[in-house]
Amino acid sequence: MNSSFLQTPIDYLKGVGPNRATLLKKELGIHTYQDLLNLFPNRYLDRTQYYKIGRLQRTSSEVQIVGKIINIKTVEQKRGKRLVATFIDETGKMELVWFRGHKWIRENLKLNTPYVIFGKTNWFNGTFSMPHPEMELLETHEKSIRSAMQPVYPSTEKLTNSGITNRVVNGLMQQLFSETKNGFTESLSKPLLEQLKLLSKSEALFNVHFPKNQELLARAQYRLKFEELFYIQLQLIRKNLVHKSKIKGYPFTQIGDNFSTFYKEHLPFELTNAQKRVVKEIRNDLGSNAQMNRLLQGDVGSGKTIVALLAMLIALDNGFQACLMAPTEILSVQHYNGLLELCKELNTSISLLTGSTKASKRREIHKNLENGSLNILIGTHALLEDKVKFSNLGLAIIDEQHRFGVAQRSKLWHKNEYPPHVLVMTATPIPRTLAMSVYGDLDISVIDELPPGRKDIKTVHRFDSNRLKVFRFIRDEIAKGRQIYIVYPLIQESEALDYKDLMDGYESIVREFPPHGPGPNYQISIVHGQMKPADKEYEMNRFIKGETQIMVATTVIEVGVNVPNASVMIIESAERFGLSQLHQLRGRVGRGAEQSYCILMTSHKLSQDAKTRLETMVRTSDGFEIAEVDLKLRGPGDLMGTQQSGVLNLRIADIIKDSEILKIARSYAMQTLKADPNLASEENIPIKKTFAQLVKYRNIWNYIS
């Protein structure tokens, strides 16, 4: 079957016609024969059993019965009418009920003729009834391509209401298979099929839509999932290999004074083995002729900043500039202050560029960037403006990259003749399965140990009813000279409501911790999204300097505020936060030598998912384990934030449930490309052709990282 036939518009399939075609396109995105073929069932009903009315059980399960209708009547009810038919077999009788479509049903149903009915049964007033049954004349039922397992296809309310029921879709699928004579071109190589004992493409497609039994269905699904994941991995790995061979980077061959002096004399602490390993990986990349494209993952507080600085110093030693882009002003200011402190003994010039940089300062930065006297520029999206021109940008570091869109990142690439080396950093641990899929074209480094001397943060879950005890605990900690965060959720849809929660909370805290009075006096900072950046900055700085003991905030502080003296993080309405957010917030404390605490406050009403999230937080502080649980709870689209949500629009595989198949697919894709990088060998012809088709018809989503 040549693949251009499968690109035939769906309008031409017998039984579709213009109206149905419009609905299928709009509701399910089915434009071609190929799209219909790739509409895989959600579940299957076992139609091997036929039940007798007299032996039905009072469970509301789906059953199939052979019998006939002996009469039909209309019954008036409070609103409208219902149509009721009496259906009998040799063991008893039951009712079939319809609430809509009466005219059509009355005209088309035959009395006293054998039918096969299928649907859910209800037990009411001593009688079984079946609302809106699927019905087929026994004679037709015996003739159709009928598999024992009945597929149930994805649908929408609009389709069902327009008469495109599951049965209709099933009929269209039968029509498609009869037109294509089930002759589908094989898309995997013979060695792959033999080594993995896979069904052929045609057998797999037939058995996923019309399975004869459970075993064939399982083999068909495995084959199709493997294929889908194999081609995604093939594309990502190939992109990485092409990237390394085609996209030349500047080879940084010198390890000079900046790097060596800093490493030998100014390191504030001994690097952990994980940090040393990662620095080595980055040095290897920078020294090769290819452009570095590396993702650096490290949990909160694992010391990514120092690794980033060492990479920048290598760029400086080779006569290049470096930049670091962060998603928020607060974070970029913090990076700037941190790097200034680390570089105070070195002869390097560092500047900060954000939305609130004054015009005169901006002009000076632009000038020094272009004449090369400015070595390191740190900032927010402001770095992407066309006015910002580097004299020779050699390394771009992007922090928390999932917050930047693809177009924004590519702007950095075009600031030079050659693209700069790229290091992407994230404190949101990405589970391996997701990293392999979403960032499969990046090389990945992980800092998986915390610096020595860090104490584990004690995490507890408390209900609102324990609030007084929590207040007492806060008083004790402040008496020891510590500082406290109290964070309230901020969920965009209900900003007004959240703002009220925050203000109510703030007032009750001021009542508990008064600024003046007979006892100890307390100072409280407040930070939220509706404040002007300058006011936020002022409040943050008071807290950082230790002038205020309590910081009441919304999740503005999620990423990156560093106050070593803050030892308690209280998260209000913790059930309203996602796991990764809770983990990020907890990472704001535990940055000093003192024992730190995280207290999760919730009401007594908790969903199952919320309980799982809270239990996970109390049980572990391993960011990767937390990310795995989060991925299972939320699914991949959510985890990557909206810019990436299109990434894993998979047809049949599921990267969480099928992570084992994903690993196998990745290793086979790797082997295939290592042995035959251009897929030129005889045996790889099917793979090469399929790959070209996928790229041509864009059925593989272009993963961009």
CATH of the domain at 166: 1.10.150
Q: Quick check: is 11 in a domain?
A: yes
Say which residue the tokens 């997701």 belong to. Answer: 434
699 confidence band (pLDDT: 50, 70, 90): very low
Rounded (to 5) percent helix, strand, coil in the chain? 45, 20, 35
Q: Quick check: is 528 in a domain?
A: yes
| Least confident residue range of 45-49, 87-91, 492-496, 683-687 | 492-496
pLDDT at position 35 is 92
Q: Quick check: is 551 in a domain?
A: yes
Within this chain, do residues 134 and 100 fall inside the same structural domain, yes or no?
yes
Residue 145 has pLDDT above 70, yes or no: no
Q: Give pairs for 531-539: CB < 8 Å, separation 24+.
A: 533/329, 533/355, 533/356, 534/356, 536/330, 537/330, 537/333
- Please give the Cα distance from 140 to 465 (Å, whole number): 65
Q: In this structure, what token pair is assigned to residue 285?
A: 């990349």
Within this chain, do residues 348 and 381 fall inside the same structural domain, yes or no?
yes
pLDDT at position 561 is 65
pLDDT at position 660 is 86
- Phi, psi values for residue 251, rounded to 5°: -75, 120
pLDDT at position 697 is 61
Please state the domain count of the chain: 4
Give the closest residue to 627 by CA, choosing from 619, 639, 637, 643.
Answer: 639
Q: Quick check: is 568 in a domain?
A: yes
Within this chain, do residues 400 and 471 fall inside the same structural domain, yes or no?
no
Within this chain, do residues 18 and 114 fall inside the same structural domain, yes or no?
no
Alpha carbon dihedral 635, 639, 644, 645, in 10-degree steps, equals 40
- Please give the Cα distance from 115 to 705 (Å, whole number): 56
H/E element holding 88? strand 81-89
- Please give the Cα distance from 628 to 155 (Å, whole number): 30
| Least confident residue range of 89-103, 426-440, 560-574, 650-664 | 426-440
Spatial contact of 297 and 426, defined as CB atoms under 8 Å apart: yes
Within this chain, do residues 28 and 125 fall inside the same structural domain, yes or no?
no
Q: In this structure, what token pair is assigned to residue 292?
A: 């570095």
Q: Which domain holds residue 66?
A: 48-145
CATH of the domain at 99: 2.40.50.140
Q: In this structure, what token pair is assigned to residue 300?
A: 């909160």
- Is the sign of the CA dihedral 454, 458, 464, 470 positive or negative? negative
- Please give the Cα distance from 241 to 673 (Å, whole number): 9
pLDDT at position 11 is 94
Residue 103 has pLDDT above 90, yes or no: no
| Mean model confidence pLDDT for the chain | 86
Distances (CA, A) of 612 to 524, 608, 609, 640: 33, 6, 5, 20
- Please give the Cα distance from 307 to 272 (Å, whole number): 11
Say which residue the tokens 């199952």 belong to. Answer: 608
What percent of the chain is modeled with pLDDT above 90? Answer: 49
Q: What is the mean pLDDT of residues 487-495?
A: 67
Q: Quick check: is 539 in a domain?
A: yes
Could you tell me which residues are beta bridge partners of residue 459? Answer: 598
Spatial contact of 160 and 98, defined as CB atoms under 8 Å apart: no
497 confidence band (pLDDT: 50, 70, 90): low
Q: Which amino acid is at 313?
A: L
Q: Give tens-digit pLDDT for 284-305.
A: 999 988 889 898 988 777 888 8
Beta strands, E only, 125-168: 127-131, 134-137, 149-152
Spatial contact of 446 and 298, defined as CB atoms under 8 Å apart: yes
Residue 405 has pLDDT above 70, yes or no: no
H/E element holding 550? strand 550-553
Length of the chain: 705
pLDDT at position 361 is 95
CATH of the domain at 267: 3.40.50.300
Q: Give tens-digit pLDDT for 357-370.
A: 999 999 999 999 99
Q: In this structure, what token pair is assigned to residue 403?
A: 């917050």
- Taking the alpha carbons at both ends of the chain, their separation in whole angstroms is 35
Out of 94, 117, 145, pick the residue that ends a domain. Answer: 145
Q: For residue 54, what are the contacts with CB-CB under 8 A and spacing of at least 6?
A: 89, 91, 92
pLDDT at position 557 is 63
Out of 426, 441, 469, pick the residue that ends a domain. Answer: 426
Give the closest residue to 602 by CA, choosing from 627, 576, 633, 620.
Answer: 576
pLDDT at position 648 is 54
| Least confident residue range of 415-419, 467-471, 559-563 | 559-563
What percent of the chain is modeled with pLDDT above 70? Answer: 91
Radius of gyration of the chain (CA): 32
Within this chain, do residues 97 and 10 fall inside the same structural domain, yes or no?
no
SS (H, E, C) 555-603: HHHCCCCCCCCEEEEEECCHHHCCHHHHHHHHCCCCCCCCCCEEEEEEC
Task: Pick 400 or 351 by higher pLDDT.
Answer: 351
Q: For residue 303, what are the contacts with CB-CB under 8 A and spacing of at least 6?
A: 271, 272, 275, 447, 451
Task: Pick 166 or 182 by higher pLDDT.
Answer: 166
Within this chain, do residues 120 and 173 fall inside the same structural domain, yes or no?
no
Within this chain, do residues 485 and 372 fall inside the same structural domain, yes or no?
no
Out of 620, 655, 686, pick the residue that ends a domain. Answer: 620
Q: Looking at residue 11, what DSSP letter applies?
A: G
Residue 123 has pLDDT above 90, yes or no: no
pLDDT at position 60 is 65
Q: Looking at residue 412, what DSSP letter applies?
A: H
Q: What is the mean pLDDT of residues 375-387?
A: 90
Q: Quick check: is 668 in a domain?
A: no
pLDDT at position 647 is 44
Could you tell me which residues are beta bridge partners of residue 294? Answer: 423, 443
Within this chain, do residues 325 and 405 fall inside the same structural domain, yes or no?
yes
Q: Which amino acid is at 408?
A: Q
Q: Give tens-digit pLDDT for 580-605.
A: 889 988 988 887 778 999 999 999 99
pLDDT at position 560 is 52
Spatial contact of 567 and 589, defined as CB atoms under 8 Å apart: yes
pLDDT at position 641 is 40
Q: For residue 178, what are the contacts with CB-CB under 8 A and spacing of at least 6?
A: none
pLDDT at position 640 is 43
Q: In this structure, what token pair is assigned to residue 257?
A: 């004074």
Spatial contact of 332 and 354, defined as CB atoms under 8 Å apart: yes
Task: Pick 86 or 564 by higher pLDDT.
Answer: 86
Residue 144 has pLDDT above 50, yes or no: yes
Residue 262 has pLDDT above 80, yes or no: yes
pLDDT at position 532 is 84
- Please give the Cα distance from 654 to 498 (Å, whole number): 35
518 confidence band (pLDDT: 50, 70, 90): confident
Spatial contact of 129 and 121, defined as CB atoms under 8 Å apart: yes
In DSSP notation, 21-74 reads HHHHHHHH---BHHHHHT---SEEEE-S--B-GGG--SS--EEEEEEEEEEEEE
| Least confident residue range of 52-61, 487-496, 497-506 | 487-496
For residue 623, count other CB atoms closer than 10 A to its CB. 24
Q: Give tens-digit pLDDT for 606-622.
A: 999 999 999 999 999 88
- Phi, psi values for residue 682, rounded to 5°: -50, -50
Residue 410 has pLDDT above 90, yes or no: no
Q: Quick check: is 19 in a domain?
A: yes
- Please give the Cα distance from 85 to 474 (Å, whole number): 70
Within this chain, do residues 275 and 422 fall inside the same structural domain, yes or no?
yes
H/E element holding 115? strand 115-120
Helices (H), 114-165: 138-143, 157-161
Q: What is the mean pLDDT of residues 230-240?
A: 88
Q: Give tens-digit pLDDT for 641-659.
A: 433 333 456 788 877 778 8
- Please give the Cα distance from 489 to 319 (Å, whole number): 46
Within this chain, do residues 367 and 262 fall inside the same structural domain, yes or no?
yes
Within this chain, do residues 26 and 69 fall inside the same structural domain, yes or no?
no
Q: Quick check: is 266 in a domain?
A: yes
pLDDT at position 494 is 57
Distances (CA, A) of 427 to 16, 424, 540, 560: 50, 11, 21, 10
Residue 147 has pLDDT above 60, yes or no: no
